[in-house]
Every structure is written in C-alpha cells, then in structure tokens.
Amino acid sequence: MIDIYPAESDEVALRVELFDDEIENLSLFDPLTGHSLGKVPRYTIYPKTHYVTPRERILEAIEQIKVELADRRTYFIKENKLLEEQRIAQRTQFDIEMMNELGYCSALKTTHAISRQKRGRSPSDPV
C-alpha cells in the first residue's frame, strides 16, 4: 500500500493498493482521519513544482551562488554594512539549503540569481 499526499490538496489523499507489482485498487481518503472517501477508477498526480533541473546542474548553480555570495559579503564588509552582510549570508545560505534538499527555493530576492545560475548565464546577460 502506498499513500500519496497531493501538493494541491490538504483535504484529500490517494491510497494505492498493490497486488504484487500491479495496482489493485485506488481510493481517496481524509489525511487527518484516515477515513476512506471512496474508490476512484483513475487519478492524475501532478508534480509539486514545474522546476525540473538535473541534480548536477543544481550543484553547479549552488557553487556559483556561493562564489557570488562571497563577493557580495566582501563588498558589504568593506562598506561597513555588517547588518546587510549578515542578512544576505543568512538568507542565501537558507536558499542554498532549500535548493540542495528540494531542488528549488521559493525566495523572491534570489530567484533571478538562482535562475540565472541554473541556466548557466552570467550576471550581465539579459533576463
């Protein structure tokens, strides 16, 4: 038995019952109570995100982001903007951890830089 919790719903989950290597039954259930909501003949499962990037490319992007982060931190330290340096380091590190774990991050401030890195573009390239 496999329980699938679709990203688009907190109210319904899908239970896939198997017999050997074949699907025997599909049913919906309440994820909070576990009560069955009935059988279904078929069910479409959508990906949680549309961002599909090979793991190798994500790791390359993370390394490039770390290099850019080091440059920005150096700039802020030279300008005696220590709060800004701390904030950018903290936020970017969190984004890097999210990318490493999930393959993407939802931060708005770094989305452009990450997108650029994932596509292998330089900072001067147009969006």
Residue ranges of domains in the chain = 2-39, 55-119
What pLDDT score was predicted for residue 35? 92
What pLDDT score was predicted for residue 54? 85
pTM over 0.85: no
Residue 97, token pair as written in the block: 């951890």
What pLDDT score was predicted for residue 125? 55
Separation of alpha carbons 26 and 3, rounded Å: 10
In three-state secondary structure terms, 20 is coil
Q: What is the mean pLDDT of each run of 10 residues along the chain (127 residues)?
A: 86 93 94 92 82 84 92 95 94 91 69 55 54
What pLDDT score was predicted for residue 123? 57
Sign of CA dihedral 73, 122, 109, 90: negative
- HSE at residue 40, side-chain half, CA atoms within 13 A, is 14
